[in-house]
Amino acid sequence: MFPATLRFRLALGCLLLTCLAAAAFAAEKKPAATLSTEIGRILDQPDISRGFWGVEVVSLANGNQLYSLNADKLFTPASNTKLFTTAATLAMIGPDYKFRTTVETLGTIDKHGRLNGDLLLVGRGDPNISGRTLPYNTRTERKQPPLQVLQELADDVVQKGVRFIDGDVIGDDSYYAFERYGEGWTQDDLVWEWGAPVSALTINDNVVFVSIQPGDHAGDKAFLSIAPYASYYQVDNRVITTPAGTGPRRLYITRQPGANQITFWGNIPLDDQGASEAVAIEDPASFAAQVFRQMLEQRGITVYGHTRTHHTELARLTTITVNATAPAGGGELTATPPTVPQPLVLGSYESQPLSQDIRVILKVSQNLHAELALRLLGREKGSAGTIEAGLEVLHGFLAQAGLQNDEYVFFDGSGLSRQNLVTPHAIVKLLSFAAQQPWYTTYRESLPVAGIDGSLADRLKNTPAQANVFAKTGSLGHVNTLSGYARTRKGDMVAFSIMGNNHNLSTPRALEAIDQIVEAIVDYAPAAQNKK
């Protein structure tokens, strides 16, 4: 017999050994972390799980589906819509396409420099008549004057010998239909840069920049400045300077649709560094005509006429008028197109290649430029420069890419419409199709890069995803999305789509959840294996 104390120690030792063995066995049986378990863990968090989430991940090497959750459900895509518009534009218009803006007249110039007729500034959809530096390089830069192209065109008119204009100065954006806004846009969008009106004659992204600085003393009105062309808006300034230390500033802006008056109110502390806002203009062609007339007059040209616009109303596009005549002796009717007089071109500007603007659209999520691309599709490859014609061309392209009609519904080209719908599976199919096209490199390199540039510049920094994820962001109220390409730890490329709808998360929390899923994709996506 062992002494009681020794028997107790032996029993305790056996118990400990048994516990350790059981723990080791449990550890061996515990499933290793996988892509599915990691994404499930993220989406099972109580505040995250209240939203509606869809995710799909597919290997580009073999097409294998690596993860899927609600991938066939329809979601509001927000700016993930731009993935579709830009892919179609690269495929059907081509990366080398260039826009041309001209100054024209149907009149004549006499020996005294008198132009007997109207002077037209004709836009054909160039999105980058602005001070934006191209090519885009990690961030938006505006080093050139925003109206430099118009200044050069005004110089061209002077060099052609024009000294007097008997007619009007016309802003002509008739190349595209006069459809400034998309279906499903909200009224409060229309005041700001992201809801700027669409026009074939686009100047400075169709916005003016408003700078707001505190006055000299508490109680003074704040100092407001508007550029370019400060006289375009009638400004009602009701912003009051408050004593130092009474922050934060509270600034509000109101502009009624159709009005050229803009009201600012609120307060700004005396020690505030100031604020800057980009405010949408009402009619871009009218803005351009007013600016251009001012430039001509500054160069000594006298304009006797008015300033006006030339739009193409949608109603005109629904009626086609031809001169139909039947040949003698019967037979089929032949349509004789009307004779169009050739204008005298007094100045011309050609843009950089379209591929440069694709980078702008995707890197910084430029809504106006995406809408212009949609209308370009309709004008060049469809029936007219309209939203409807552009969407018809887009649908044809997506059919070629293997997408089904019930996988998406689009009402615009930018994703600002709250009526757009698309499945994660459709996005991944588009991305997989694009990866096999000759324009793929341009497309992928135009996407924001995690932790490096564009709308992902400040996300996924110092993680394995940095510089290895190329993806398009999307954001609306209660909507956050991210779709694109990722290079995994195992060196494989995958296409993915992450869509969150109907959540009540703060923006930082929603982005944190999406970024965690991206990190899981990079960390846990299995190595590519050939299909059996």
Which CATH number belongs to the domain containing residue 434 in this structure? 3.40.710.10
CA dihedral 278, 283, 286, 290 (to 10 degrees): -20
| 417 belongs to the catalytic site | no
Does 31 score more than 60 pLDDT? no
**193 to each of 139, 189, 197, 416, 509, how far by Cα in Å?**
17, 8, 9, 12, 25
- Pairing status of strand 223-227 against strand 421-422: unpaired
Does 236 score more than 70 pLDDT? yes
Same domain, 121 and 85: no
- What pLDDT, on a 0 to 100 scale, did the predictor assign at position 298? 97
- What pLDDT, on a 0 to 100 scale, did the predictor assign at position 230? 80
- Degrees to nearest 5, angle at CA 105 with 101 and 107: 175
- What pLDDT, on a 0 to 100 scale, did the predictor assign at position 315? 64
Same domain, 42 and 152: no
Does 318 score more than 80 pLDDT? no
Does 149 score more than 80 pLDDT? yes
Q: How many domains does the chain have?
A: 2
Q: 248 and 306 in contact (C-beta within 8 Å)?
A: no
Domain boundary among 307, 326, 348: 348
Same domain, 422 and 481: yes
- Give the largest CA-CA distance in the chain: 132
DSSP secondary structure letters along 233-279:
SEEEEEEEEE-TT--S-EEEEE--TT--EEEEEEEEETT---EEEEE
Question: Taking residues 312-331, what's their average pLDDT?
Answer: 55
Q: How confident is the model at residue 468 (pLDDT cuts 50, 70, 90)?
A: very high
437 φ, ψ to 5°?
Answer: -100, 160
Q: Which of 59, 365, 417, 455 is catalytic?
A: 365
Question: Taking residues 342-353, what's their average pLDDT?
Answer: 97
Same domain, 372 and 393: yes
Q: Which of 59, 79, 475, 483 is catalytic?
A: 79
What crossing angle do the helices spanning 81-92 and 424-434 adopt, rounded to 10°?
30
| 82 belongs to the catalytic site | yes
| 79 belongs to the catalytic site | yes
Question: Taking residues 435-450, what's their average pLDDT?
Answer: 98
- What pLDDT, on a 0 to 100 scale, did the predictor assign at position 3? 54
Give CA–CA dist 255/189, Å, rounded.
Answer: 11
Same domain, 50 and 122: no
Q: Looking at residue 456, what DSSP letter applies?
A: G
- What pLDDT, on a 0 to 100 scale, did the predictor assign at position 283? 94
Residue at 124 is within a domain: yes
Residue at 6 is within a domain: no
Q: Which of 82, 381, 429, 472 is catalytic?
A: 82
Residue at 83 is within a domain: yes
Question: Taking residues 240-268, what's their average pLDDT?
Answer: 90
Residue at 14 is within a domain: no
Question: Taking residues 363-384, what's their average pLDDT?
Answer: 97
Same domain, 177 and 40: no
Same domain, 226 and 366: no
Residue at 435 is within a domain: yes
In sequence order, the 6+-apart residues with CB closer than 8 A to the CB of 315 are none
Question: Taking residues 147-151, what's their average pLDDT?
Answer: 96
Residue at 46 is within a domain: yes
Residue at 320 is within a domain: no
Range from 36-45, 180-189, 309-318, 520-529 that averages highest in pLDDT: 36-45
How many helices (H) and strands (E) in the chain? 13, 24
Beta strands in 361-512, from DSSP E residues, in sequence order:
408-409, 421-422, 469-476, 479-487, 493-501
Same domain, 301 and 365: no
Output the domain CATH number for residue 199.
Answer: 3.50.80.20
Direct distance between the N- and C-terminal alpha carbons of the chain, in angstroms, rounded to an integer: 66
- What pLDDT, on a 0 to 100 scale, did the predictor assign at position 113? 97
Same domain, 458 and 501: yes
Length of the chain, in residues: 532
Q: Which domain holds residue 489?
A: 35-95+353-524
**525 to each of 517, 529, 531, how far by Cα in Å?**
11, 12, 16
Task: Kindly report the pTM of this predicted structure.
Answer: 0.89
Poorest-pLDDT segment among 62-66, 127-131, 337-341, 394-398:
337-341
Question: Taking residues 214-227, what's their average pLDDT?
Answer: 94
Same domain, 64 and 179: no
Same domain, 269 and 153: yes
Residue at 176 is within a domain: yes
What crossing angle do the helices spanning 81-92 and 354-364 adopt, rounded to 10°?
170
Same domain, 157 and 201: yes
Cα 516 to the center of its chain, rounded Å: 24
Does 178 score more than 60 pLDDT? yes
pLDDT tens, 492-532? 999 999 999 999 999 999 999 999 999 999 999 999 876 54
Q: What is the mean pLDDT of the chain?
A: 90
What crossing angle do the helices spanning 387-400 and 81-92 adopt, rounded to 10°?
80
Question: Taking residues 50-59, what's their average pLDDT?
Answer: 98
- Pairing status of strand 261-269 against strand 234-242: parallel
- Degrees to nearest 5, angle at CA 177 with 119 and 320: 95
Domain boundary among 329, 348, 367: 348
Q: 67 and 320 in contact (C-beta within 8 Å)?
A: no
Does 326 score more than 90 pLDDT? no
Domain boundary among 331, 348, 365: 348
Does 316 score more than 90 pLDDT? no
Beta strands in 274-398, from DSSP E residues, in sequence order:
275-280, 302-303, 307-312, 323-325, 334-336, 344-350
